[in-house]
Structure 1
Amino acid sequence: MKALQGVEGRVEWAQRPSPVCDVGQIRIRVAAAGLNRADLLQRAGLYPPPPGASDILGLECSGIVSEVGAGSAWQVGDRVCALLAGGGMAEEVVVDARHALPVPDGLSLVEAAAIPEVYATAWLNLFQLGGLKPGEKVLLHAGASGVGSAAIQLCKAFGSPCWVSVGSAERLAYCEALGAQGGVMRGETLQSLRDFGPFDLILDPVGGEYAALNLQLLALDGRWLLIGLMGGREASFDLGLMLAKRVQLTGSTLRSRDEQFKADLLADLGQQVWPLFTEGRLNPQLAKTFAAADANAAFDELATNQVAGKLVLRIDDSLS
């Protein structure tokens, strides 16, 4: 099969052996795969896959089930999307059957490729780890990103007002159209976020340079969910203030979680979140798609940090 791999800061298609479909797994003929910042890091050689995971790029995909291992309730021909530790940007992928969900009614396969990773990340951190309750105030850094776009919609759907930090006026308008109450641009002083706080929960893919500010902005018993280090891995902040506010700081990654953890997360998503797509209350926020031959252009566009929503690589247009 053809599969996409990172080579010296670029990506290229290569011939790779087809994976074996074992007990409890399904084989998916891939229609499309979503792009994520983790793919950029892996392309650059900075984010190797967890032990035992495929080194092929792609943490989410959609497609058609083409083979079913023993012990799975899926059927050949089912339309699915899947959360992966790697391997999605290939003509086919084998995945734990519990890590796939049906394509929501009304969505195309291309749209469905844009939802597993970002909605799983947003749901895990806002609700499972962050314990977000209706009415609590949320701050989302990088609010126009794929995860940010999902988080805004989930906050709105479950009754928690949210604000954002973003890189431009256009991206702020995009977030407000999705349901954010407001926010600030990074070119302005981020201290103006004080006008909207204090916040009960901050979802932070930036880290480093935002750490001290986050602590100032959090409310008593606030939760700070750190999911990335776009702003650096080192920080200085007042531990006394953290103690006085009883702040909970949680470092969170999803890719390296074990199979059962991901299965439980996907089961919760299927029950709590997936019906909202059919109801029209959630949307994949597909910004742009790229043909498989244009994979390098897709990665380069994501690297600009100017994308509002999600980019998707179309692997097999005959399935769409």
Structure 2
Amino acid sequence: MLYPLKFKPIYKERIWGGRKIETVFGKKLPETEKIGESWELSGVDGDISVVANGKLKGNNLQELIEIYMGDLVGDKVFEKYGEEFPLLIKLIDADDNLSIQVHPDDKLAAERHHSFGKTEMWYVVGHEPDARLYLGFNQPVDKEKYLKYLEAGKLAELLNAYKVEDGDSYFIPAGTIHAIGKGLLIAEIQQTSDITYRVFDWNRVDPKTGKGRELHTALALDAIEYKARSDYKTVAAPRTNAPVTLEKCPYFQTNSLIVDGTAERDYAPLDSFVILICLDGKLELEYEGGTETLKKGETVLIPAEMNEITLQGNGKTLEVYVP
């Protein structure tokens, strides 16, 4: 019988990274590196997550899908995605601005990279005063106008700048030009893809190379959605001991699940794995056959064959699955 699976985090050094993944979430980071991302659950080729708990410890996610198929991911998910795990879960520490960038959609990513596209969402876990997210164009833009502002180093002037608060969530469809600003700690849920077209990097120089990072100006031109829109922020009233939908799209549904006491969840109708990301507090996860502790900074994969679980304690989680 399968059980709630935890995985070893995969840490990514980034020029804009910091140490909050350690100081806030208690993870032990490499001492000398600026860690920008902790990949909590990944099926990306070359970065496949490895089980950290129980009898399956040491096996990777790809191996588990090959063996358990629909029992692990859900029959409908396995039928659609086969042995590819469809989601990538990250914690992101932006100690400096990330580049302004865009991700291709499924069609373009398949043509160019034999990959999924990258639709994603962000949940703001922590922020410094005046921290900003940059999302989409704030006025009508065409390729000519876009390139004019890009070449002048003024691209940010064309973008919506959101002043954020903890608990805010934002949905970023593939094709949306965007950047995470300095001073933000974010949980990211996205399609399984590591394709990024970087278009502006704030004229920054990598101290290790003495050069600017590679830009992908030409590739990005046909990937960008040029329409002006400002409806990226998700608004949802919080509840306790019951899920609140933050986002539902063809690739994932993400709920806020705040537990104070006891929350019982029946996942039988979903026919999907469920990912719980604990952002605060500590919970006991009870299931048929045992219990598992879930604490701040930890992510757990609930196999599709596990229909009912009970969460006890006090904690704030994100609940993610394939709709």
TM-score (norm 1): 0.27
TM-score (norm 2): 0.27
- Higher strand residue share: 2
